[in-house]
């Protein structure tokens, strides 16, 4: 709680007073703290690849350039770290857009079985490289109103995580089913807001420890930093996904068992 002196009144004949405002500032303080933590995280994340680029470039300039083999391997590191910077900046900008809700969604009806087949095709090469089988279980004729590009972005993110965090020879599966949920308020028109679709993306991967589960949608939160880094992760994918799902008035949850696999569950209202 914070007490603020807003005004002092001086009236005639000695009449006067103070206007004091007592307000709960804990929410404001929390937001401020989160913002400065985010800035600190961003700086740290950007500094790491920049330091690598600078260090390896310096070593090259200092003479390493004369040994072709060393030069090649250092240049490869510089190239990879620049790509990483690119991805980071792209994701930071994307996150800031979705957080401030500055993205107009273009809703249109999407038929889920053809949508999922197309999405799986986009990611098939990545799965193939790790010999990971992709299964889909989607009946024809299930529709949802969504922004197609954004829904694609959500799916690609979760599928590519599924592939990244699953050992070679594993499996990633997708299922879509219609569900009915009780509308939270009865002001919805009869039978309108109750229809949802449930999308499940499961993998047979490394899983997520129980204690980390509540935090994985936080910005830059990673269970294993080194592993995320080596697979090219920025630690922002799931935060972006969660915001995108919420922009569709949907929810995302996760269930996971270490060493067995993870399942991400998205529920989206059919109509908007
Ligand atoms: P990253 O770029 O690190 O993959 P994300 O925001 O996509 O960032 O995910 C955050 C963290 O959640 C990951 O670093 C990883 O530890 C964990 N994670 C996400 N998806 C999975 C999955 N399918 N299986 C196991 N761990 C996962």
pLDDT tens digits for 39-78?
A: 899 999 999 999 999 999 999 999 999 999 999 999 999 9
**Sign of the alpha-carbon torsion through 33, 244, 229, 77:** negative
Chain mean position to CA 240: 3
What's the CA gap between 41 and 176, in Å, rounded? 36
Q: What residues line ligand 1, using a CB cutoff of 6 Å?
A: 161-162, 165, 203, 205-208, 216, 221-224, 228, 233-238, 262
- pTM to 2 decimals? 0.85
Read off the pLDDT of each residue in 86-97 and give the average, rounded to a whole number: 94
Q: How far is CA 194 from CA 141, 158, 270, in A?
A: 18, 25, 8
Asked whether residue 187 carries a pLDDT value surpassing 80, the answer given is no
Say if CB 196 and CB 270 are below 8 A apart.
Answer: yes
Closest residue by Cα to atom 2, ligand 1, is 233
Q: Residue 82 C-alpha to ligand 1 middle, in angstroms?
A: 22
What's the CA gap between 250 and 105, in Å, rounded? 14
Q: Return the ligand 1 atom nearest residue 229 CA.
A: 3
**pLDDT single digits (tens) 126-183:** 999 999 999 999 999 999 999 999 999 999 999 999 999 999 999 999 999 999 987 6
Tell me the HSE value of 15 on the side-chain side, using a 13 A CA sphere: 3
Q: What is the pLDDT of residue 228?
A: 85
What's the CA gap between 199 and 154, in Å, rounded? 11
Closest residue by Cα to atom 3, ligand 1, is 235
Q: Return the ligand 1 atom nearest residue 232 CA.
A: 2
Contacts of 60 (CB under 8 A, 6+ apart): 71, 74, 75
Q: Return the ligand 1 atom nearest residue 238 CA.
A: 6
**Sign of the alpha-carbon torsion through 60, 64, 66, 67:** negative
The gap between the terminal CA atoms of the chain, to the nearest Å, is 39
**Left if phi > 0, otherwise alpha if psi is -120 to 50, otherwise beta: which for 178?**
beta
Give the ipTM of the model, two decimals please. Answer: 0.98
Q: What is the pLDDT of residue 197?
A: 97
């Amino acid at each position: 709680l914070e007490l603020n002196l807003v005004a002092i009144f001086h009236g005639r004949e000695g009449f006067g007073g103070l206007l004091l405002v007592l307000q709960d500032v804990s929410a404001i303080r929390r937001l401020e703290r989160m913002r400065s933590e985010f800035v600190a995280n961003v700086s740290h994340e950007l500094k790491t690849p920049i330091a690598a680029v600078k260090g390896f470039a310096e070593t090259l300039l200092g003479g390493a350039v004369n040994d072709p083999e060393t030069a090649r391997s250092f240049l490869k590191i510089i190239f990879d770290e620049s790509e990483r910077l690119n991805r980071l900046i792209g994701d930071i900008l994307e996150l800031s857009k979705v957080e401030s809700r500055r993205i107009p969604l273009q809703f249109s009806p999407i038929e889920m079985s053809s949508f999922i087949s197309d999405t799986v095709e986009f990611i098939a090469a990545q799965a193939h490289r790790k010999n990971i089988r992709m299964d889909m279980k989607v009946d024809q004729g299930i529709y949802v109103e969504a922004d197609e590009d954004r829904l694609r972005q959500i799916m690609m993110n979760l599928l590519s995580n599924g592939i990244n965090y699953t050992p070679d020879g594993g499996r990633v599966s997708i299922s879509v089913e219609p569900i009915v949920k009780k509308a939270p308020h009865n002001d919805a028109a009869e039978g309108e807001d109750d229809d949802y679709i449930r999308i499940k993306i499961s993998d047979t991967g490394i899983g997520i420890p129980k204690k980390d589960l509540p935090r994985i949608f936080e910005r830059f939160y990673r269970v294993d930093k080194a592993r995320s880094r080596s697979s090219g992760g920025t630690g922002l994918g799931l935060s972006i996904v969660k915001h995108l799902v919420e922009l569709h008035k949907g929810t995302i949850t996760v269930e996971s068992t270490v060493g067995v696999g993870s399942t991400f569950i998205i529920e989206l209202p059919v109509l908007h």
